[in-house]
Chain A
Amino acid sequence: LAKTTQPISMDSYEGQEVNITCSHNNIATNDYITWYQQFPSQGPRFIIQGYKTKVTNEVASLFIPADRKSSTLSLPRVSLSDTAVYYCLVALDNYGQNFVFGPGTRLSVLP
C-alpha cells in the first residue's frame, strides 16, 4: 500500500525558494500525486497535482522523476503567509479513492 514520507519541519526566509520532497515508494501505476496546504483551524487547500515530469501553476511547481517514487513541491519566493503545513497525498488503493495523509511538513517562513 502506498504511503508517504516527508520531512516533519522546515525553516526558510522570505523571498527564498522552498523545496519539499515527499517519498512514495509504492505508488500505484495510475495514481496521481497531490499536494495540499493547511493553515491552523482551516481545512486543507489544494495546491497542485501531477502524474509525471513537471507541473506548474500560479503558486507552485511539482517535479516528479521518471520512477515516480518521490515528488518535490517547489514554492518560489515564499512570504510569511506561506507558513503552513504541507501534505503530499497518494491513494492507498488502485482506484484512487482511499487516501491517507501523512503528518505533513510544517514550513516556517521567517522575516
Chain B
Amino acid sequence: NAGVTQTPKFQVLKTGQSMTLQCAQDMNHEYMSWYRQDPGMGLRLIHYSVGAGITDQGEVPNGYNVSRSTTEDFPLRLLSAAPSQTSVYFCASSYALAGGPQYFGPGTRLTVL
C-alpha cells in the first residue's frame, strides 16, 4: 500500500490564484481530513469527510473548499490564494469514523506571494 499520498510536494502561487491540492489513500478509509501547519505551530483542521459525499468544516475552513466523490480521493481547493494561506498542508485518513488513529501524508508546502 502507498498509504496517503499528496501532490504536489511544493507549490508557489501568486495572490488571487486558485489551485487544488490532491490527496489520495489506498487503504479504503472512510474518514479523511485536511490540516494546515504554520511554522512552529500545531496542526489546525480545515475540513474533514466521513465518506463519499459527506464533508464538514473544521477549525479554519475559510478560503478552502473540499469535495469527496470517491472513497480514495479528497482534494482541497484554494479559491483565491492569500499570503495568509502560506503553510504546510497535511492530508490524513483513518479507518475509524470516530476518534481512530489518523495516518498522515507527507505534506504540501505552499507559498503564496
Contacts and interface: CB of A to CB of B under 8 A. Distances in A.
A95 B97 CA distance: 8
B74 interface: no
A8 B100 CA distance: 25
Contacts of B102: 34, 36, 44, 46
Contacts of B43: 44, 87, 101
Contacts of A44: 43, 90, 92, 102, 104
B99 A34 contact: yes
B44 A31 contact: no
B53 interface: no
Contacts of B98: 30, 91, 95-97
A34 B35 CA distance: 16
Nearest to B40: A103
| Size category of the binding interface on chain A | 20 to 34
A70 to B, nearest CB: 17
Contacts of A30: 98-99
A91 B59 CA distance: 12
B76 interface: no
B48 A46 contact: no
A98 B90 contact: no
A86 to B, nearest CB: 11
Interface in A21-53: 30-32, 34, 36, 41-46, 49
Interface string B5-46: 000000000000000000000000001010100000111110
B42 A103 contact: yes
Nearest to B102: A46
A92 B57 CA distance: 12
Interface string B58-73: 1100000000000000
Interface of A: 30-32, 34, 36, 41-46, 49, 87, 91-92, 95-104
